[in-house]
Amino acid sequence: MSTEIASSDVGKRQVKRFLSRIGFVAFLTLVSLFFALPMLWLVTAPFDANPTMSVGIPDWTLSNFQRVFENPQAMRAILNSLIIGIGTMVLVVILGATASYALSRVRIPGRDALLYSLLLLSSIVTGTAAMVPTFQLINVLGLINTQVAVILVITGGLLPTVIFILKDFMDSMPKSYEESARLYGAKPFQILMHVVTPVARPGIAFVAIWTIVQVWANFLVPFILLRSPELQPAAVVMHTFYTESGQADLRLISAFSLLYSLPVILIYFLVNRKFGFRFHGGIKS
């Protein structure tokens, strides 16, 4: 009697385990499909001789990419993204690194309060909430429709986060290198150039890549500040491609989408593998 109950119990448990296993696999499959479905088009259409809005086995060709390379606006857009991205990156890295080093090593009054309030501010004063005053400020400064304006505005938004990341990094750097360099008579500037910079290189590289990824995808700031199509980065031109003319050129759009997305996807997965979870978030609008 008791063994019967036990065995039926075991049977029930096995059925239950089997069912939960099926539920588990079904969940993962459904979720994977949900994420994959919109992306399929990005994988097939760029290689299709006659791409439509639907996903299908492509009529294999690379001529769509040729079309992008021959389109001056598309190439100009990628170049603009590079100019804005690298410009912002250089500014952010130089300003962020010097500021965070000073904040890490020198006890400036009110330092911690300053850092936290800046960080809080940067998450409250977002690109969307501050779009009107920023637009008006750039107007008044006479910088409207210039790439410098885009670089300055994005830099101001990213700097608090970057200083925070880099200060954390500099705090974890041993001070003994600088101490011994100083014992041997190195001047502060020499210490910065030849001791601190090489040791801080991983942190700086991380911030540089993070900045480029942020700027590359940023749509709102250039969308509001740049009017001339020849100044706009890929994020804005991509939007123009599919909203402007009546009949969208899907051959151009598909190949351009892939070329524009691929760098960040590659960077992201490489960096994510290397640095792990820290590489997330920021301004995404």
Partner 1 sequence: MTQVSAIAPGKAKPRRGRRAEDVAGLGKARASLFVAPSLLLIGMFLIFPAVWTVYLGMTDYRLTGVQAVDPQFVGFANYAEALGDSSFWHSLRITLIFVFVSGVAGQSLLGFALAWAVRNLKGIWKAIVEGLALAAWVIPSSVVAFLWIAMLDRRNGTLNTLLQTDGKAWLIDNPLLWIIIFNIWVGTAFSMQLFSSALAAVPPSQLESAKMAGAGGWQQLRDVVLPNIKGHLLTNTLLITLWTFNTFTPYLLTAGGPGNSTEILSVYIYKTAIPGGQLGLGAAISLIMLLINLVVALFYLRVGQGRKSS
CB of 179 to partner 1, least distance (A): 5
Residues 57 and 50: their CA atoms lie apart, in Å, by 11
Considering only residues 5 to 24 of the shown chain, the ones binding partner 1 according to CB under 8 A are: 24
> Which residues in 163-179 are b (16+ Cβ under 10 Å) and which e?
bbbbbebbeebeeeebe
Residues 216 and 264: their CA atoms lie apart, in Å, by 8
Which member of 54, 228, 245, 247 binds partner 1 (CB under 8 A)? 54
Contacts of 174 (CB under 8 A, 6+ apart): none
Q: Which is nearer to partner 1, 1 or 54 (CB)?
A: 54
CB of 285 to partner 1, least distance (A): 4
How many chain residues are in contact with partner 1, going by CB under 8 A?
Answer: 104
CB of 75 to partner 1, least distance (A): 17
> Closest by alpha carbon to 218, among 88, 123, 94?
88
Residues 226 and 154: their CA atoms lie apart, in Å, by 13
Q: Which stretch binds partner 1 (CB under 8 A): 2-10, 57-65, 68-76, 210-218?
A: 210-218
> Closest by alpha carbon to 80, among 142, 154, 151?
151
Using CB under 8 A as the binding rule, whether residue 143 contacts partner 1 is answered as: no
CB of 55 to partner 1, least distance (A): 5
Which member of 88, 122, 147, 232 binds partner 1 (CB under 8 A)? 122
Write the binding mask 24 to 43 for partner 1: x where contact by CB under 8 A, - elsewhere. Answer: x--xx--xx-xxxxxxxxx-
